[in-house]
Chains A and B, each alone.
Chain A
Amino acid sequence: DVKVTQSSRYLVKRTGEKVFLECVQDMDHENMFWYRQDPGLGLRLIYFSYDVKMKEKGDIPEGYSVSREKKERFSLILESASTNQTSMYLCASSHRQEGRTQYFGPGTRLLVL
């Protein structure tokens, strides 16, 4: 069965803290993605990776960075958390081929105080 897991379901951090969100997939997928979800805006792509150590900016990369040292793991890093980064963060993965289904993790709800 397809599985994408995220390290935390809920997280509370203070402004200025460095925050790590971890995502692991067990499907040997090449592509991995980080989105944030906000009411009325749908999901917006932050960063994605199409291979180990490769990364590409999405639509809203400012204030974020990512790391992909192993194929199954993709980390999202908030270098200095700010209140406007309070959101739901969703990780997804897919096979490389265009049009292939993305499989999503359960999400991490982050609150920055």
Chain B
Amino acid sequence: AQSVTQLDSHVSVSEGTPVLLRCNYSSSYSPSLFWYVQHPNKGLQLLLKYTSAATLVKGINGFEAEFKKSETSFHLTKPSAHMSDAAEYFCVVSEGGYNKLIFGAGTRLAVHP
């Protein structure tokens, strides 16, 4: 069975410093992987997705993620945090038929001035 582990429940950074949100997955075959973001009182928005093309995936708002099969990781990074990046981030793996998604528990990102 597929699963997703987000290694940090909370991450706090200063504005202008790099962001790293860590995600490990388990999958019996080549997965599709996603990062979604949820701002307070808003629905989920797709940041980026990996579907077996380039291993370095660029998303919206300057975020990117690298698929590392040997480490079963899909960490999300951004070179310079902005106050508007404060939100909850979910790492997600797509499982089998019908496009079912398995969500990690989420990482809450706080950005301080």
* Complex CA–CA separation, A103 to B43 (angstroms): 9
Say whether B32 contacts A44, CB under 8 Å: no
- Interface residue count on the A side (C-beta < 8 Å): 30
Q: What is the 8 Å Cβ interface bit string for chain B, positions 79-113, against chain A (1 contact, 0 not)? A: 00000000000100010111111011110000000
Are A102 and B99 interface neighbours, CB within 8 A?
A: yes
- B94–A42 touching, CB < 8 Å: no
**Shortest distance in angstroms between B76's beta carbon and chain A's nearest beta carbon?**
15
Q: Does B51 contact A (CB under 8 A)?
A: yes
Flag the segment in A12-20, A73-81, A92-100 that touches B.
A92-100
Which of B44, B45, B49 gathers most chain A CB within 10 Å?
B44
Give the Cβ gap from B94 to chain A, nearest Cβ, in Å: 5
CA distance A35 to B28 in the complex (A): 24
Q: Taking CB as reference atom, which chain A residue is nearest B4?
A: A42
B3 to chain A, nearest CB (A): 11
The residue of chain B having its C-beta at the shortest distance from the C-beta of A98 within the complex is B99
Q: Across the interface, name the chain A residue whose C-beta is closest to B45.
A: A104
Whether the Cβ atoms of A102 and B101 lie closer than 8 Å is: yes
If A43-B103, A101-B46, A104-B43 are given as contacts, then 8 extra A-B residue pairs at C-beta distance below 8 Å, sorted by A number, are A40-B105, A42-B104, A43-B101, A50-B98, A58-B100, A98-B96, A103-B46, A104-B44
Which residues does B use to contact A, with CB under 8 Å? 9, 32, 34, 36, 42-46, 49, 51, 90, 94, 96-101, 103-106
Binding site for B on A (CB under 8 A): 4, 31, 33, 35, 40-45, 48, 50, 56, 58, 90, 92, 94-107
